[in-house]
C-alpha cells in the first residue's frame, strides 16, 4: 500500500530582494517519512524553508506547494499553520509580555478550531514538559525572552508536540545545542514524528541525524537538489564534506 502524500514541493523557485536563490526544487514527503535537506552555507536551504512557510520576504516566483493534496501556495502563513504545517525557526524571536502558556494555548486553539479547556491544556502541557525535560515554571516565562539557545530550541519542539502538525519543517534546529540538549530535542522530534506526519529537517551536520534517523537525504547546492539518497548519503557528507557534490554539480551544469 502506497504511503499517503503529506507535502509536495513542485518545481519551486524562490526570489529574495530580486535575486533568485532557489532554482527549481521538487520534493515529496509521505506519511511517516523523515527527509533531511543538507548543503553548504548559502545553498538556499533556509530560503526554501521560509518560502514554504510563507515568509513575506521570500517570494515564491514559480512552482506550487501542496499539503494533503490541497494547493496552499497562495495561503497566508497562519492559514498554512491551521491546516497542519509547522516551522521551527533557526532563530526564534522573543515576544515580551506574552507567556509561553498563553502563547501555546492560543496556538493550540487556532490549530484545533476550538477553545481548549484550561485543565485539558495544562495536563497536555505538563506531559510534554516531561518529554523535553523542561521545568514547569517555564510556562510563566515570556516567550523566548532571556532564553538560552537550548531553551529556545526546546520551546520550538514543545510547540510541535502541542500542535501535532501533519507536516513539520525544522530549520537547523540543532544549531547551538550541546550534546545533552541535542539528545533531548531529538527525543521530542522522534515522539512527534509519528506514522501520520511528514518531516523535513534542514541541517548542515550529521550529528542530529544520529538521533533522528532520516528515511531520505537530499543535498542542495546553489539552489538545486543535486543528489538524493538514504541515510548513508549523510554519512558520506560527514566523511567527505560538500566539495565532491559541489564539483559534481558544477560538471553537470
pLDDT, averaged in runs of 10, over the chain (253 residues): 87 95 96 94 92 92 96 94 89 87 92 90 93 88 88 88 94 84 88 91 88 95 94 89 81 70
Domain 5-92+164-252: which topology?
Rossmann fold (3.40.50)
Residue 206 · residue 233 · CB < 8 Å: no
pLDDT at 1: 60
Sequence-ordered list of residues with C-beta below 8 angstroms from that of 82, at least 6 positions apart, any chain? 110, 111, 113
Place of cell 526546546: 154
Q: CB neighbours (10 Å) of residue 37?
A: 27
Half-sphere exposure of 173 (CA within 13 A, CB side): 34
pLDDT at 253: 64
pLDDT at 241: 85
Phi, psi angle pair for 225, to nearest 5°: -75, 115
Q: Please state the domain extents for the chain.
A: 5-92+164-252
Amino acid at each position: 500500500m502506497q504511503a499517503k502524500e503529506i507535502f509536495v514541493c513542485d518545481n519551486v523557485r524562490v526570489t529574495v530582494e530580486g535575486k533568485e536563490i532557489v532554482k527549481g526544487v521538487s520534493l515529496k514527503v509521505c506519511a511517516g517519512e523523515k527527509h533531511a535537506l543538507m548543503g553548504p552555507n548559502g545553498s538556499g536551504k533556509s530560503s526554501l524553508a521560509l518560502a514554504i512557510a510563507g515568509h513575506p520576504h521570500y517570494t515564491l516566483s514559480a512552482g506550487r506547494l501542496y499539503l494533503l493534496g490541497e494547493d496552499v501556495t497562495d495561503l497566508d502563513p497562519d492559514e498554512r499553520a491551521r491546516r497542519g504545517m509547522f516551522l521551527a525557526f533557526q532563530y526564534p524571536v522573543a515576544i515580551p509580555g506574552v507567556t509561553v502558556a498563553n502563547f501555546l494555548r492560543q496556538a493550540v486553539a487556532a490549530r484545533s478550531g476550538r477553545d481548549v479547556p484550561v485543565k485539558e491544556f495544562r495536563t497536555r502541557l505538563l506531559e510534554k514538559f516531561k518529554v523535553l525535560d523542561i521545568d514547569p515554571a517555564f510556562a510563566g516565562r515570556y516567550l523566548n525572552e532571556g532564553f538560552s539557545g537550548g531553551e529556545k530550541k526546546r520551546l520550538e519542539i514543545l510547540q510541535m508536540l502541542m500542535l501535532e502538525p501533519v507536516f513539520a519543517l525544522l530549520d537547523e534546529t540543532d544549531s547551538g545545542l550541546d550534546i545533552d540538549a541535542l539528545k533531548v530535542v531529538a527525543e521530542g522530534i522522534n515522539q512527534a514524528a509519528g506514522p501520520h506526519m511528514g518531516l523535513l529537517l534542514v541541517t548542515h551536520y550529521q550529528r542530529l541525524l544520529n538521533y533522528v534517523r532520516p528515511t531520505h537525504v537530499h543535498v542542495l547546492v546553489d539552489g538545486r537538489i543535486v543528489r538524493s539518497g538514504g541515510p548513508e548519503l549523510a554519512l558520506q557528507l560527514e566523511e567527505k564534506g560538500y566539495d565532491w557534490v559541489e564539483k559534481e554539480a558544477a560538471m553537470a551544469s
